[in-house]
Amino acid sequence: MKTSDFDYNLPPESIAQEPVRPRDSSKLLVLDRQTGTIEHRIFSDISGYLKPGDLLVVNRSKVFKARLVSTDGIEIFLLRPEGGNWLALAKPGRKLKIGTEISFSDGTVCRVTDKKDDGTVALEFGRPAEDVLEITERIGQVPTPPYVGKRVTNDSDYQTIYAKEVGSVAAPTAGFHFTPELIEKLKSQGIKFAEVILHVGLGTFRPVKTETLEEHEMHEEWLDIPAETHQAIAETKDGGGRVMAVGTTTVRALESGIDHGFTKIFITPGYKFKTVDGLITNFHLPKSTLVVLVSAFVGEHHPDSDWGRQTVLKAYSEAISKGYRFYSFGDAMLII
């Protein structure tokens, strides 16, 4: 499949620069994936589309302060621990050579141990990963995507309210729309909640650079699915309820086929979903793996293999015309 088929034109003014308040007052586009019909609501109306016995599965991963700036102005973007090192991006990376030491304002020093073909570097801090996370908490910044023009001053703006497990470098943004009050309302209606962990990597939001989807090499992300979540899913299915994934990261976790470890699953049109029955998601970048995943989900049961892609791009076009806000701090879609 051609990557260019998943492109669309987004006016810059449609890119959300900050979250709405309250969070559940964002717009909600409801897409019926059987018929392609669209409804326009606000997010708090989602309670009217969920039924007692449905299960909402959320990603409880928490973003850490992955952006560090050295004393000589080198920007380091930590991605994840790898062996005894940290995989990272560096800007400008050309200044760094294997053996280069990088110093930070609190006296912390790391050393470049490798430069990889994909542009990443391996950094040795000489201390356990949990100690490095404590350092980032003191001197780091919460990373925000490049399309957000200003730094987040309130760190909680770039976290879901249920974030617990530190490890993501980008937020699972579909969960931004939930408030404590909305969650309590849904629970009172008989809607259940379960959790997974998938630590979001930078590659999630990057556009696909290859000419075809088949050529794209998917990034890997670490996940954990508790036994309680498997039990909740089984009970939901047995009771006739739906498993509703909050975000594409949750979809990737649930469809990965593993309970613990790294996944590189790339969901493209033609994929048959094993667990997920509904999806809450934001509006994603053109030519991203996320637009491809959403297209696969929308078109799963349609005889026309291209119907999902066409329907998603049509929905995106309508959202743009109606003033929806796109990307991380933007509005939401419910696909049922």
Of 130, 268, 275, the closest CA to residue 210 belongs to 268
**CATH superfamily entry for domain 67-139:** QueA-like (2.40.10.240)
Listed in order, the ranges of the chain carrying CATH 2.40.10.240 are: 67-139
- The predicted pLDDT at position 119 comes to 82
Q: Which residues contact 326 (CB under 8 A, 6 or more apart)?
A: 10, 14, 15, 16, 282, 283, 319, 320
Query: What is the spatial distance between Cα 228 and Cα 226, in angstroms, rounded to a whole number?
Result: 5
- The predicted pLDDT at position 8 comes to 97
pTM of structure: 0.94
Residues of the chain with pLDDT under 70: 205
Helix axes 289-298, 307-321, angle to 10 degrees: 110
Return the CATH class of domain 3-63+154-335.
Answer: alpha beta
- The predicted pLDDT at position 150 comes to 78
Q: Which residues contact 35 (CB under 8 A, 6 or more apart)?
A: none
> pLDDT tens digits for 181-225?
999 999 999 999 999 999 998 777 678 999 999 999 898 899 999
Handedness of CA 242, 248, 252, 253 (dihedral sign): negative
- The predicted pLDDT at position 149 comes to 83
- The predicted pLDDT at position 205 comes to 64
Listed in order, the ranges of the chain carrying CATH 3.40.1780.10 are: 3-63+154-335
Provide the CA 268 distance to its chain's centre, in angstroms: 17
Structure-block tokens of residue 304 = 């026309």
- The predicted pLDDT at position 81 comes to 93
